[in-house]
């Protein structure tokens, strides 16, 4: 045997036994998003690298450290998408979608970040996200946040919603200058990462998880106390909207997000079931971003959820993985039976009945073993006697009970038995 080749570190296979969970959460996302007027968009996984340096921010960890970038045979510098917002906006602008007024879009698919893999953190991971364009009013923020909550609670997932305002270009620069000065004064008490970020991206310092930095940062000046009037009014209205919708939240003044594009509303859904990587979903407003990426001034707000993290929570909750199983397994007793099961399986499938058979034929015991492996609900043995009589015995694989059935009209009989 040749040496085996394994998957790339931090990139996971999702085998058929686990995929049912993903199908469930994706199907529910589609259903819930449609209830709120979001329509699906699909964009490439590869984009010009410049899209992210301009869109997500040159100084962010995502762009400066974690992006997979490569040369396309001496042409463009390309990147595997590290997130979905920038590409969605590129498509929104490129196709002139803004002429159609406000739009609500959603997407699901793989994203790539060269992070250190650990539980809940991978190099290829999957996001399910939405972007809503063209509405600056806070009612949209509240509606979108409530939608995430609606989706998660339908899955039985309890999360904490953290809410903050990160201000806008009117109020943030003065705050950032003060914060930088405050952090510089305390540089000696902060970790090396914090010191580096003080100069490059001071807001991110607030997010530092190092235990010795935490108590120092507790008393850092808060942007929430320094919001300009329009940002304050917006934040209060988002809160009022969430209150009216009965969505509980925690105001978290130190919530900053790892991407530079946010203004005003920033939010995150976290779960204790996840350990260190507690953020299940995160998002916020990015009112200047469409313009930064070459489009007309268009407000926007979106979020993305990490599908792996949601799957981990569902697993921790012990939620069973939905399985699709054949309603009936056709077993061939002899040569006439083998021909009959092939034809009957085709008829049943055309009639919408999920069925399976062991194309190897052979011993009955082995065929029954296969019927058990695929968790078939019923089994039906066909041999020359059954074919001649036009009827057989339908075996319930759980109770082991056998019932005589006519082969003509089997599909209808099975559907009835299944209910």
Binding site for ligand HAM (CB under 6 A): 83-85, 113, 115, 120-122, 125, 127, 129, 131, 257-259, 279-284, 302-306, 308-309
In angstroms, what is the minimal distance from the CB of 67 to ligand HAM? Answer: 12
Of residues 132 and 376, the one with the C-beta less far from ligand HAM: 132
Whole-angstrom distance, CA of residue 346 vs CA of residue 337: 14
Instruction: Give me 178's structure tokens.
Output: 């003060």
In angstroms, what is the minimal distance from the CB of 125 to ligand HAM? Answer: 3
Whole-angstrom distance, CA of residue 113 vs CA of residue 182: 32
Of residues 12 and 384, the one with the C-beta less far from ligand HAM: 12
Of residues 118 and 346, the one with the C-beta less far from ligand HAM: 118
Of residues 121 and 319, the one with the C-beta less far from ligand HAM: 121
In angstroms, what is the minimal distance from the CB of 127 to ligand HAM? Answer: 5
Q: For ligand HAM, which residue has the nearest CB?
A: 306
Of residues 49 and 280, the one with the C-beta less far from ligand HAM: 280
Residue 336, judged by CB atoms within 10 A of its CB (0-12, 13-18, 19+), counts as middle
In angstroms, what is the minimal distance from the CB of 336 to ligand HAM? Answer: 54
Whole-angstrom distance, CA of residue 135 vs CA of residue 118: 38
CB 207 within 8 A of CB 254: yes
Q: List Cα–Cα distances, 282 to 87, 162, 335, in angstroms.
A: 17, 9, 60
Phi, psi torsion values for 226, nearest 5 degrees? -120, 15
In angstroms, what is the minimal distance from the CB of 293 to ligand HAM? Answer: 13
Of residues 113 and 172, the one with the C-beta less far from ligand HAM: 113
Of residues 84 and 138, the one with the C-beta less far from ligand HAM: 84
In angstroms, what is the minimal distance from the CB of 264 to ligand HAM? Answer: 12
Of residues 30 and 121, the one with the C-beta less far from ligand HAM: 121
In angstroms, what is the minimal distance from the CB of 262 to ligand HAM? Answer: 7
CA 149 to chain centre: 14
In angstroms, what is the minimal distance from the CB of 84 to ligand HAM? Answer: 6
Whole-angstrom distance, CA of residue 303 vs CA of residue 104: 12
Residue 73, judged by CB atoms within 10 A of its CB (0-12, 13-18, 19+), counts as exposed
Question: Secondary structure of 328-371 in the HEC alphabet?
Answer: EEEEECCHHHHHHHHHHHHHHHHCCCCEEECCCCCCHHHHHHHH
Q: List Cα–Cα distances, 261 to 8, 264, 364, in angstroms.
A: 30, 10, 64
């Amino acid at each position: 045997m040749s040496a085996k080749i394994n998957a790339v570190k931090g990139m996971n296979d999702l085998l058929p036994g686990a995929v049912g969970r993903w199908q469930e959460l994706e199907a529910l996302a589609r259903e819930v998003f449609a209830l709120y007027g979001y329509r699906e968009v699909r964009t490439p996984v590869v984009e010009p690298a410049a899209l992210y340096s301009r869109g997500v921010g040159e100084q962010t960890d995502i762009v400066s450290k974690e992006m997979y970038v490569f040369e396309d045979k001496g042409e463009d510098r390309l990147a595997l998408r590290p997130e979905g917002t920038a590409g969605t906006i590129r498509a929104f602008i490129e196709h002139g979608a803004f002429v159609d007024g406000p739009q609500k879009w959603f997407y699901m698919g793989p994203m790539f970040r060269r992070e250190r893999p650990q539980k809940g953190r991978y190099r290829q991971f999957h996001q399910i996200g939405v972007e809503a364009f063209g509405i600056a009013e806070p009612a949209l923020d509240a509606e979108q946040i409530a939608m995430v909550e609606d989706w998660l609670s339908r899955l039985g997932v309890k999360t904490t919603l953290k809410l903050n305002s990160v201000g806008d270009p009117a109020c943030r620069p003065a705050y950032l200058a003060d914060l930088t000065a405050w952090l510089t004064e305390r540089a000696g008490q902060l970790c090396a990462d914090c010191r580096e970020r003080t100069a490059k991206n001071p807001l991110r310092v607030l997010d530092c998880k190092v235990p010795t930095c935490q108590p120092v940062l507790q008393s850092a000046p808060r942007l929430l106390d320094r919001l300009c009037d329009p940002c304050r009014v917006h934040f209060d209205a988002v809160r009022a909207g969430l209150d009216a919708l009965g969505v509980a939240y925690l105001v978290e003044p130190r919530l900053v997000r790892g991407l530079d594009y946010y203004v005003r509303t920033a939010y995150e859904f976290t779960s204790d079931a996840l350990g260190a990587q507690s953020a299940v979903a995160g998002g916020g407003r990015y009112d200047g971003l469409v313009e930064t990426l070459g489009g007309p001034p268009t407000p926007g707000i979106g979020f993305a959820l990490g599908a792996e993290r949601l799957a981990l929570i569902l697993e921790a909750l012990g939620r069973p993985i939905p399985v699709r199983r054949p309603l009936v397994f056709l077993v061939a007793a002899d040569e006439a039976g083998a021909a009959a099961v092939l034809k009957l399986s085709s008829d049943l499938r055309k009639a919408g009945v999920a069925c399976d058979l062991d194309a190897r034929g052979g011993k009955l015991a082995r065929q029954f073993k296969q019927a058990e492996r695929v968790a078939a609900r019923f089994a039906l043995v066909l041999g020359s006697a059954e074919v001649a009589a036009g009827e057989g015995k339908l075996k319930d694989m759980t109770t082991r009970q056998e019932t005589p059935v006519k082969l003509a009209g089997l599909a209808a009989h099975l559907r009835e038995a299944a209910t």
